[in-house]
Structures are given as structure tokens and as C-alpha cells.
Structure 1
Amino acid sequence: MSDWDPELYSRFAGPRLRPALDLIRALPALPAGDVVDLGCGNGAVGPALRQLGRRLIGVDNSASMLGAAQDTGAYDRLELADIATWQPEDKPALIFSNAALHWLGDHDGLLPRLAGLLAPGGVLAVQVPNQNDAPSHQLWYDLATGMFPGRVSQDASPGILTPEAYHTLLTPLGALDLWQTRYFQVLPGGGDGHPVRRFTQSTFAKPVLDQLTPTEESEIISAYEDRIEAEYSKDAKGAVLFPFRRLFFILKCSVK
């Protein structure tokens, strides 16, 4: 997969930042230790996490995103690492992950492993999009399957478990707070094309587009533009009211 584009991702920093702030506001008391922003991306959440008053460590597998995170000045340390296998030097008080873990598989193994990395009484706080079955997202795969049969695998698509599965998996590990929020985001008009296309192209659709040639990528973007207006109509200013579901959980681990 090609590297992430911090500038393209940042165009919708506001709608993407609010769920992270909601997750921070819901945090319980923390034990002593560092805060880790796991999958920190371009560091958009760094300044808010900095307000927790702890040493802040950002971890991401994208060098370009870490470069942007460095520019925020929020982090005491940044690490280039695969977040699926990352290991801390010291047990942190908080592992915070905003819109990152849905890109990884095997949550049955991943989440208990992350919980086991925490200091006694530490907290694992996670937010992931829960939007895969919405027209905004499913249309990318419908078009890819119809236009380029056999070319695009869905194995790289973001995936999460059901809320019930997370409850079963995490409850034995500590006190679990699990909830889902449906945000109604106003995606601004103007610029290049439909706002929902611009919003999804830089994140969910990236694994789809990475499997296509530049010509094919242009063709599927054009086809998406032709059909997305029927699902998400624009107002007189070209903006779209875009419903978007996000799943949250906070696990305060049992003292070990």
C-alpha cells in the first residue's frame, strides 16, 4: 500500500477530530505512566492528549504522517512501527487509538495483547468507524467488482467485530464501557467533486484505489461521482449532511 497523504487526510480534520475528543472526555482516572497515541497519523489528536499532562508517545507506520505529527509539537517521542506488533519500553497508563485499529485484523488476539501491555489499572481507549455497510463505503466495492472483476480484494478493507463480540472479548479483562454514536457531519461543498467522495477517498477507499492503475482509478472515481449524489444530495451551497457511525470502547484493565 502506498503511504498516506497527510494533506488529503487533513481536509476533514474537524469531522474526524470530534469523535477523538469525545473519547478523551470519557476517560476514567489513569494510573501513573505514559500516554500512547497508537496510530497517531498526522498528530491531529496530539494537542488534546497533551492536556492529560503525561509524557506523550505517538506511534504510526507512516513516515509521512509522523512527519506531520512532529510539526504539531505535541509529542515527546514519535515511533515508526507496525502498530499490530508494537511493544512499549515501559508499561503505559493509557493506550489511545483513534480511527486506526479497524485497519488491522485479528482483534480477538490484538486487543487482549494491547491490554496486557498496560500498567496495572491502565486504560485502553479505542474509536473505530462502523460505516462499512453504508452507501458511502459499499459503493466503492460495488463499482470495483462491476468494473474490474477479480481485480480488487476486500481483504484490505477496514473491518471490526460486532459490539456483542467486543463485549464478550473484553469484559473478562476489566471494566468495559462500550457505545456507538451516529454523527451528522456537514461536509463542505466547493473544491473537486462530491464531498462524500472526497471524504472517503482519502481513507476507506485507499486500499481499493491502491489495487488499480492510475487510469482505472480515474474511471472508478468518475463512476462514484456519477452515483453518489443519488445517495447523499448536496444543498444549494454544495454541502452534504453526512451520517457517520462510530464505535467506541474504554477498557479499564483489572489491576495486575
Structure 2
Amino acid sequence: MGLGSSNRQTDDWNAKLYDERHRFVSAYGEDLIQWLAPKEGECVLDLGCGTGDLTEQIHQLGSRVIGVDVSESMIEQAKGKFPHLDFQVAEATDLSFSEKFDAIFSNAVLHWIKDAEEALTVIYRSLKPGGRFVAEFGGKGNVETIVNTLADTMSQADSRWSKEELPWFFPSIGQYTSLMEQVGFRVTHALHFNRPTLLEDGDGIRHWLAMFAESVLEGKSETERAEIVRFVEAEVKDALFDGTNWWADYKRIRVVGMKQL
């Protein structure tokens, strides 16, 4: 569910802000649980569980579920909300499981992992033979208006800054499913679709940047950060503000892969 599994060196996640301002992440993930279709008694991994809302829903459907996230603050909040569940701090590229899970579920996480092949290799290894992998994440063109404007603004503010420093990997559907097949998955479903996403308040873009672009702004003074955010907000307003609400231009990939028996 959450956005935690990544190759970040520090924990930039604000779990309180995530729960207060970005509930849409888990709300959209509820539909993905239907694709997972967890069964009574199955062992399921929620990869990038965030603060645990979808982990709890999978548990309520009868599965034995473990939630993992790279963010200690996310896991701490998840444990406080759902103390009856098993939550662990772990990176998607460094899981210690081997053929443990009937299914691995991941919502809004895999676009944070630039080494997609390594993550898929670890996911494949963690599944039992015949197990399934069900995931949704940002695909090609995801939040393109915000990301391109942010990158241009950062380049103007610092000539040494490179777009390679952006923390996201937004693959095409062909690129990602090819990687899945390379590590052994049989891809049974794959979609790439637009999902304009309502940001919940009048400061929607500012809160989005505070939540999801913290690592990009890291190292800037408070004055510099505020100036960058104000500039990005002004530049994207015509495209993303409808006069009442802010909308993020999300484009998502949803995949299902099976581990061969």
C-alpha cells in the first residue's frame, strides 16, 4: 500500500502527513485487492505496506499477512494502528524470504525502486511455486506535469543538479512486463491507464511535493525550498487546477504475474 520500499539512504517519509493528506493511496489500492483475491489461510506479503491499511484489509479477508516497508516511521505507525499484525522494516531488493508466500501484493511502491530487475528477482524468489504477484505503480507519463516542472525548476536553481537524481522509475508497460518475463514470471494481466487523482485540499500540490519529493528538495534551505515549491505550483496551475481542486496527472501500471510450478 505504502510508498516506502525504495533505495533511499534516509527515511524521508512523514507517516502522519501520509495518513492525513494522502489517504487516496490506500483508497485506490482497495480495488487492487480484488485482483489479489486473497484466500482463507494463504500467506501474503504486502510489499511497501506504508501505514498498514491495506495489510489489515487483506488480513480481514482471511489471509496470514506480513507487511514490510523500508520506512521505519511508516512501520511504527502501522504497528500502532494494527498491533495484531506482523510488520517489518525491509527493502524490496533485500528480502530474506524464500518460497514463503502464496501471493505478493504491492500498491504504489515499485516506481520508487530504480533497480526493477533486482526487485522482481527477489519477489520471484519469495513466492512459492504457483504463487502470484499483483502490483500497481506509476507507469510511463506518471505525474509528468509535476515531475517535468520540478526537474526544470531544480535545474534552474542549481546547474549541478541532474534529472538522474529524481527518485522515480516510471516504465512503459512493455519495459516492465519484459523484465517480469526475464526473471521467470508468466504475465497474465497488464494494464497502463490514466487515473487523474484528486488532491484533497487547496494546498494539494504543496502537500504532494512535501510528501513525495522530499528527497529531491533535500539539502535546500527552507527559503530555497519554499521558493521552488511556489514556482512549481504556479507553473502547473493551469494544467492541474480546475478552479476548485488540484488534480495530479497519474498514469498507472497494473500487473499480475505467476511463478511457474
Task: Sort the TM-score into its range (normalised by shorter chain).
Answer: 0.7 to 0.9
Q: Which of 87, 95, 118 matches 1:109?
A: 118
Q: 1:29 and 1:233, CA in 2 relative to 1: closer, same or farther beyond 3 A? A: closer
Distance across 2 between alignment mates of 1:86 and 1:116? 9
Q: 1:74 and 1:45, CA in 2 relative to 1: closer, same or farther beyond 3 A? A: farther
1:227 aligns with 2:235: yes
Q: Structure 1 stretch 181-190 or stretch 92-101: which is displaced more?
A: 181-190
CA contact (8 A) 2:112 2:167 kept: yes
Deviations 1:97-150 (Å, cap 9, x if unpaired)?
111121112212321331122012111111112244621222111100011221
* CA displacement at 1:226 relative to structure 2: 2.5
Quick one: which amino acid aligns to residue 196 of structure 1? Answer: I
Look up the match of 2:73: 64
> Which runs of structure 2 are paired with 1:16-31 in the superposition (5 Å)?
16-27=25-36
Q: Which of 223, 233, 258 matches 1:252?
A: 258
1:215 aligns with 2:223: yes
Deviations 1:169-199 (Å, cap 9, x if unpaired)?
3245224211123223332334xx3x23322
Structure 2: 5+ residue stretches without partners: 1-9
Q: 1:133 and 1:14, CA in 2 relative to 1: closer, same or farther beyond 3 A? A: closer
CA contact (8 A) 2:11 2:73 kept: no
Q: Which of 147, 150, 164 matches 1:154?
A: 164
Distance across 2 between alignment mates of 1:16 and 1:158? 16
Look up the match of 2:5: none
Look up the match of 2:211: 202
* CA displacement at 1:64 relative to structure 2: 0.9
Look up the match of 1:165: 175
Distance across 2 between alignment mates of 1:217 and 1:152? 17
Q: 1:11 and 1:246, CA in 2 relative to 1: closer, same or farther beyond 3 A? A: farther
Which structure carries more helix by proportion? 2
Q: Structure 1 stretch 56-65 or stretch 7-16: which is displaced more?
A: 7-16
Distance across 1 between alignment mates of 2:131 and 2:142? 30
Per the normalisation by structure 2, the TM-score is: 0.84
* CA displacement at 1:74 relative to structure 2: 6.7
Q: 1:188 and 1:20, CA in 2 relative to 1: closer, same or farther beyond 3 A? A: closer
* CA displacement at 1:4 relative to structure 2: 0.7
Quick one: which amino acid aligns to residue 155 of structure 2? Answer: T
The secondary structure found in structure 2 opposite 1:157 is coil
* CA displacement at 1:241 relative to structure 2: 4.1
CA contact (8 A) 2:146 2:232 kept: no
Distance across 2 between alignment mates of 1:217 and 1:3? 15
Structure 1: 5+ residue stretches without partners: none
The secondary structure found in structure 2 opposite 1:59 is strand
CA contact (8 A) 1:13 1:44 kept: no
* CA displacement at 1:234 relative to structure 2: 3.6
Distance across 2 between alignment mates of 1:54 and 1:31? 5
Calculate percent identity across the aligned residue pairs. Answer: 24
Look up the match of 2:193: 181
Look up the match of 1:81: 90
1:42 aligns with 2:51: yes
Q: 1:211 and 1:178, CA in 2 relative to 1: closer, same or farther beyond 3 A? A: farther
* CA displacement at 1:217 relative to structure 2: 1.3
Q: 1:185 and 1:105, CA in 2 relative to 1: closer, same or farther beyond 3 A? A: closer
The secondary structure found in structure 2 opposite 1:26 is helix
1:51 aligns with 2:57: no
Per the normalisation by structure 1, the TM-score is: 0.86
The secondary structure found in structure 1 opposite 2:95 is coil
Quick one: which amino acid aligns to residue 238 of structure 2? Answer: A
RMSD over aligned Cα atoms:
2.4
The secondary structure found in structure 2 opposite 1:244 is strand
Look up the match of 1:142: 152
